[in-house]
């Protein structure tokens, strides 16, 4: 049993309850902060002030919006499944908070004279718990869209299900390299294994895939297809109002905080300070400050992407997940396996192996991206009617009756005088 597990096992009941309350408060406070921060940053990008009326500098605007939602009328559609309609927001919100329980926010500290770690529980499969919670959250979205009795909400829910399934695969594959290097799926062990260097530098492809996949996983712009206002009005939460809508909103932002904290844990050393300030790693509270700063950097990336990139088309979005992220992750896992096996068996030069694998990887990617995609044949023009017809693979099978009619129209068109269409009587006499 590690030191972290021993300290967590000795936590008294009152300390466990205190940690649960603080984790819930951190999730809610960060949500209120993120909503207001996002509006201010996007406003700055668009050269406008953003919220500046409610509270000092406008920082109480999110709290005012939350109170307003609480007092709004709770409307339920006539054709909605009332029980499922009520349960769906709860199903989305609870897993988002549960994922916080396995994330190490800092090191060893003393709380009211009791030595503990800034983490609720350290499980041997902590990484899988976070993935499971993010997967369960989509059930609330699907149930909410289905129970609303609206086709727009149902389409948004189905899009979200396809999106989460697609990007959950890439997200899981990006974590495999981290697990191989740390030799553990415990989040505390992964942070401890990065004492000699963060995995951000060592596993750059995994880091890039994880960042892209976590944006798609949380349905955020430019991957917010389940909430595409131009197509689906508001997506899966179109028919929700009052506190039920607030719960969906809360779940989305808590999921953003969760995946940002997970990226910090897996690739940025958790609460560990970088080399010039590595002496701060002896203080658990200072490690918590470092963890919070790194998490806010990832949250700023969410806002930056929303204010910068346009929304993807659905086919572009799915092509990115299945034809780019998943193959790159699989190739990178093969490279990691080759490096680990080569190092453990022969003990040869890893630099030679890396150069060889790099050449092979570049060649495979070049072949994959340089081979042109098969395109549909362009629409032809029917000589009988001058209208474009669909490609041959989509054309309606011809029949003798349709063929005879087309030939008759073509003959009549050839017999017409040139002035019949222009209305010029001189050409008719010619």
pLDDT of residue 317: 84
Provide the 10 A C-beta neighbour count for residue 162: 17
Is-contact 235 228, C-beta < 8 A? yes
Helices (H) and strands (E) in the chain, counts: 18, 2
Q: Which residue has the higher pLDDT, 301 or 349?
A: 301
pLDDT of residue 351: 65
Q: Is the pLDDT of residue 241 over 80?
A: yes
Provide the 10 A C-beta neighbour count for residue 78: 5
Mean pLDDT in residue range 314-325: 85
Tell me the average pLDDT of the chain. Answer: 82
Q: What residues are paired with 114 via a beta bridge? A: 111
Percent of the chain surpassing pLDDT 90: 24
Tokens of 368: 């994959």
Between CA 93 and CA 255 the distance in angstroms is 9
Q: Which residue has the higher pLDDT, 343 or 5?
A: 5
pLDDT digits (tens, 9 = 90+) for 21-38: 999 998 889 989 999 999
With H, G, I as helix, E, B as strand and everything else as coil, classify residue 233.
coil
pLDDT digits (tens, 9 = 90+) for 81-101: 888 999 999 998 998 889 888
If you write DSSP's letter for every residue of 402-422 in order, what string do you get? Answer: HHHHHHHHHHHHHHS-THHHH
Q: Which residue has the higher pLDDT, 396 or 244?
A: 244
According to DSSP, residue 388 is labeled: B
pLDDT digits (tens, 9 = 90+) for 393-419: 545 555 667 677 777 877 777 775 544
Window from 183-187, 285-289, 303-307, 376-380 with minimum mean pLDDT: 376-380
**Residues whose CB falls within 8 Å of the CB of residue 389, separated by 6 or more in sequence, listed in order:** 379, 380, 381, 382, 395
Cα dihedral 30/31/33/37 (nearest 10): 120
Tokens of 181: 């290097």
Q: How confident is the model at residue 426 (pLDDT cuts 50, 70, 90)?
A: very low
pLDDT digits (tens, 9 = 90+) for 132-173: 888 888 888 889 888 988 888 888 888 888 888 888 889 999
- Reduce the secondary structure of 166-190 to three states and give it as a string: HHHHHHHHHHHHHHHHHCCCCHHHH
Q: What is the pTM of this model?
A: 0.79
**Residues whose CB falls within 8 Å of the CB of residue 390, separated by 6 or more in sequence, listed in order:** 379, 396
Mean pLDDT in residue range 74-86: 87
Provide the 10 A C-beta neighbour count for residue 147: 24
**Residue 348, phi then psi, degrees to nearest 5:** -80, -170
Q: Which residue has the higher pLDDT, 395 or 200?
A: 200
**Residues whose CB falls within 8 Å of the CB of residue 378, separated by 6 or more in sequence, listed in order:** 391
Mean pLDDT in residue range 218-244: 80
Between CA 136 and CA 92 the distance in angstroms is 8
Is-contact 200 177, C-beta < 8 A? no
Q: Is the pLDDT of residue 423 over 60?
A: no
**Residues whose CB falls within 8 Å of the CB of residue 330, separated by 6 or more in sequence, listed in order:** 173
Mean pLDDT in residue range 72-83: 86
pLDDT of residue 334: 83
Q: What residues are paired with 116 via a beta bridge? A: 109
Mean pLDDT in residue range 218-232: 77
Between CA 84 and CA 93 the distance in angstroms is 14
Provide the 10 A C-beta neighbour count for residue 332: 22
Between CA 141 and CA 154 the distance in angstroms is 9
The number of CA neighbours under 13 Å toward the Cβ of 242 is 8
Q: How confident is the model at residue 429 (pLDDT cuts 50, 70, 90)?
A: very low
The number of CA neighbours under 13 Å toward the Cβ of 418 is 4
Query: Is residue 1 classed exposed, middle or buried when 0-12, 13-18 and 19+ CB atoms within 10 A define those classes?
Result: exposed
pLDDT digits (tens, 9 = 90+) for 326-385: 888 888 888 888 777 777 776 556 666 667 666 766 776 666 666 555 555 554 544 555
pLDDT of residue 367: 63
């Amino acid at each position: 049993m590690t030191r972290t597990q021993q300290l967590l096992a000795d936590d008294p009941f009152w300390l466990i309850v205190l940690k649960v309350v603080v984790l819930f408060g951190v999730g809610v406070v960060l949500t209120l902060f993120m909503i207001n921060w996002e509006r201010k940053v996007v406003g700055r990008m668009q050269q406008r002030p953003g919220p500046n009326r409610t509270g000092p500098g406008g920082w109480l605007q999110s709290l005012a919006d939350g109170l307003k939602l609480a007092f709004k009328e709770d409307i339920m559609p006539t054709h909605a499944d009332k029980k499922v309609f009520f349960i769906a927001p709860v199903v989305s919100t609870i897993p988002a908070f549960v994922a916080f329980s396995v994330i190490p926010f800092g090191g060893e500290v003393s709380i009211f004279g009791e030595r503990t770690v800034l983490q609720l529980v350290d499980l041997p499969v902590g990484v899988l718990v976070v993935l499971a919670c993010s997967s369960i959250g989509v059930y609330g979205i699907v149930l909410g869209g289905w129970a609303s009795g609206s086709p727009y909400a149902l389409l948004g829910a189905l899009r979200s299900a396809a999106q989460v399934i697609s990007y959950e695969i890439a997200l899981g594959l990006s974590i495999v390299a981290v697990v191989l290097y740390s030799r553990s799926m415990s989040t505390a062990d992964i942070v401890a294994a990065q004492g000699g260097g963060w995995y951000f530098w060592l596993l750059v492809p995994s880091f890039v895939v994880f960042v892209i996949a976590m944006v798609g996983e949380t349905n955020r712009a430019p991957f917010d297809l389940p909430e595409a206002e131009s197509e689906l009005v508001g997506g899966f939460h179109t028919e929700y109002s009052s506190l039920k809508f607030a719960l969906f909103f809360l779940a989305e932002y808590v999921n953003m905080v969760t995946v940002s904290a997970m990226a910090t844990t897996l690739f940025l050393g958790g609460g560990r300070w970088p080399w010039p300030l590595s002496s701060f790693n002896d203080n658990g509270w200072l490690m918590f400050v470092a963890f919070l700063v790194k998490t806010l950097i990832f949250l700023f990336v969410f806002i930056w992407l929303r204010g910068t990139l346009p929304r993807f088309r659905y086919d572009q979005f799915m092509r990115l997940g299945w034809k780019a992220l998943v193959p790159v992750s699989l190739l990178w896992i093969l490279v990691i396996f080759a490096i680990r096996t080569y190092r453990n068996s022969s003990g040869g030069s890893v630099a030679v192996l890396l150069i060889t694998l790099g050449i092979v990887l570049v060649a495979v990617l070049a072949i994959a991206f340089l081979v042109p995609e098969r395109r549909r044949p362009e629409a032809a023009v029917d000589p009988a009617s001058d209208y474009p017809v669909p490609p041959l693979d989509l054309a309606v099978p011809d029949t003798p009756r349709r063929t005879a009619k087309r030939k008759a129209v073509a003959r009549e068109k050839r017999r017409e005088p040139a002035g019949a269409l222009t209305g010029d009587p001189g050409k008719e006499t010619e």
